[in-house]
Amino acid sequence: EAKRSGRSHAVYTVKIDQTYASRLALMGDLRQAIEKNELSLYCQPKVHVESSRLCGAEALVRWPHPERGILSTGQFIELAEHSGLITPLTHWVLESAFRHRYAWQAKGVTQPLSVNLSAHDLRDPALVGWIEGLMSTWGAEPDWIEFELTESALMQDPVRAVSTLGRLKQLGSRLFVDDFGIGHSSLSYLQKLPVDALKIDQSFVAPITEDRSSAAIVRLAVGLGHDLGLEVVAEGVENRAQWDRLAELGCDVIQGYYVGNPMPADQYGCWQQSSPWR
Ligand code: C2E
Ligand code: CA
Ligand code: CA
Ligand code: CA
C-alpha cells in the first residue's frame, strides 16, 4: 500500500515538475520576447450593423515563438498574468496600439482601436498615469484608444474596478465589458461601472442560429445593455445567418471572421481602404 502510494506520488511529482519547468521556460522566453520586441499586434475590424460600415478595431497580441510557432494567445496571456509579466506585456501592447493608431491618422483612418486590459492591470495603480503619458506623447484624442475589460476581471475586485474605470473614463476613453455573460457579474455592479458598451461572449453567438436558449440570452443582454444606455457588440460572428439573427435581436456592432480576420496592425490601414465595409 505504502509503496504503491509512494510510487504514484513520485509520478505525480515528476509530472508537476515537468509542467512547472516548461512553464518556467516559456516565461523566460516571453520575458525575452517582450524585451526584444518580438510580439506583434494584430487588429480585427468591427462593423456597425445598421450602416454596415467599419466602426473600429480590436488590438490582439500575437507571439510568434521561434520554435513553437504562434502560441495560443489565451494561454500566454494567462501565463503572463500569473508571472508578473502582464505589466510589461500590457505596456508593450499599449505603446504599440498608440503608435499604430497615430499612423492610421495620417492615412485618414479615424476609427478607434480597442485594447484588452487584464484583471492584474486593473489593480495596477500606475496604469492610468501610463496611459495618460502615452496620450500626451502621441498627441492622441480620447477617442483613439478604447479599453476592453472582461466581466470576470471586473468581478475579481469590483470596488477597485469601479475606481480604475472611473479614472480611465476621466481621460475620455470608451470602455467595454468584454466576454459578457460568462463572468458571473453582479448586475448591481454593472450598474455602477462607468462603461459604454457590452461585448456578448462568442459562446452565445456561435450557436445563435440553432439554439433558442442562446438567442434568449442574447435578447436579454441586448435589452439590458440598451436599457442601461450601452452599445451592444456581438463577437465571434462567422457567417451571414448569424449576422442576420443578431441584427434581428438588436445588436449594434458585429465583430468576427465574417467581417474580417485579425490581421497585422500595419496592414489594417490598407485593408480598410479596399474593404467592402469601409
Ligand atoms: P477576446 O478579447 O474575447 O478576443 C476575441 C478572440 O476571438 C480573439 O482570439 C479573436 O482572434 C477570436 N475571434 C475573432 N473572430 C472570431 C470568429 O469569428 N470566430 C472565432 N471562433 N473566434 C474569433 P485571440 O486573439 O486568440 O485572443 C484570445 C484572448 O486573449 C482574447 O479574447 C483576450 O481575452 C486575450 N487577449 C488577446 N490580446 C490581448 C492583449 O493584448 N492583452 C490582454 N490582456 N489580453 C489579450
Ligand atoms: Ca476583447
Ligand atoms: Ca471577448
Ligand atoms: Ca473571449
83-92 pLDDT tens trace = 999 999 999 9
- Reported as a pLDDT band with limits 50, 70 and 90, residue 68 is confident
Chain mean position to CA 23: 23
Mean pLDDT of 16-44: 88
What's the confidence (pLDDT) of residue 18?
A: 60
For ligand 1, atom 17, name the residue with the nearest CA: 236
Q: Nearest bound ligand to CA 255?
A: 1
- Reported as a pLDDT band with limits 50, 70 and 90, residue 6 is very low
**148 CA → ligand 2 middle, Å:** 6
Mean pLDDT of 156-165: 93
**11 CA → ligand 2 middle, Å:** 39
Average pLDDT over the chain, rounded to an integer:
91
Are 208 and 242 spatial neighbours (Cβ–Cβ below 8 Å)? yes
**4 CA → ligand 2 middle, Å:** 47
Mean pLDDT of 60-75: 88
For the cut 80, the answer to whether the pLDDT of residue 71 exceeds it is: yes
What's the confidence (pLDDT) of residue 1?
A: 39
For ligand 1, atom 38, name the residue with the nearest CA: 60
What's the confidence (pLDDT) of residue 206?
A: 97
Question: Sign of dihedral through CA atoms 245, 183, 198, 57?
Answer: negative
What's the confidence (pLDDT) of residue 20?
A: 82
Please give the residue that has the higher pLDDT: either 87 or 188. 87
Mean pLDDT of 248-270: 97
Which of 135-139, 199-203, 261-265, 269-273 comes out lowest in average pLDDT? Answer: 269-273
Are 230 and 198 spatial neighbours (Cβ–Cβ below 8 Å)? yes
Q: What percent of the chain has pLDDT over 90?
A: 80
What's the confidence (pLDDT) of residue 183?
A: 80
Mean pLDDT of 106-123: 95
Q: Would you state the cell numbers that stand for residue 144, as one nine-digit string?
A: 483613439
How big is the CA angle at 245 (ends 239 and 59), to the nearest 5 degrees? 55
For the cut 90, the answer to whether the pLDDT of residue 205 exceeds it is: yes
For the cut 90, the answer to whether the pLDDT of residue 168 exceeds it is: yes
For the cut 90, the answer to whether the pLDDT of residue 255 exceeds it is: yes
**187 CA → ligand 3 middle, Å:** 18
Q: Which residues line ligand 1 (CB under 6 A)?
A: 44, 59-61, 73-74, 77, 93, 116-118, 178-179, 202, 235-238, 256-257, 262
What's the confidence (pLDDT) of residue 189?
A: 80
Mean pLDDT of 41-48: 98
What's the confidence (pLDDT) of residue 9?
A: 47
What's the confidence (pLDDT) of residue 150?
A: 95
Mean pLDDT of 13-31: 77
Is the pTM higher than 0.90? The answer reads: yes
CA distance 261 to 118: 23
What's the confidence (pLDDT) of residue 190?
A: 83
Q: C-alpha distances in angstroms, 232 versus 20, 23, 44, 57, 103?
A: 40, 37, 17, 15, 28
For the cut 80, the answer to whether the pLDDT of residue 67 exceeds it is: yes
For the cut 80, the answer to whether the pLDDT of residue 185 exceeds it is: no
What's the confidence (pLDDT) of residue 17?
A: 54
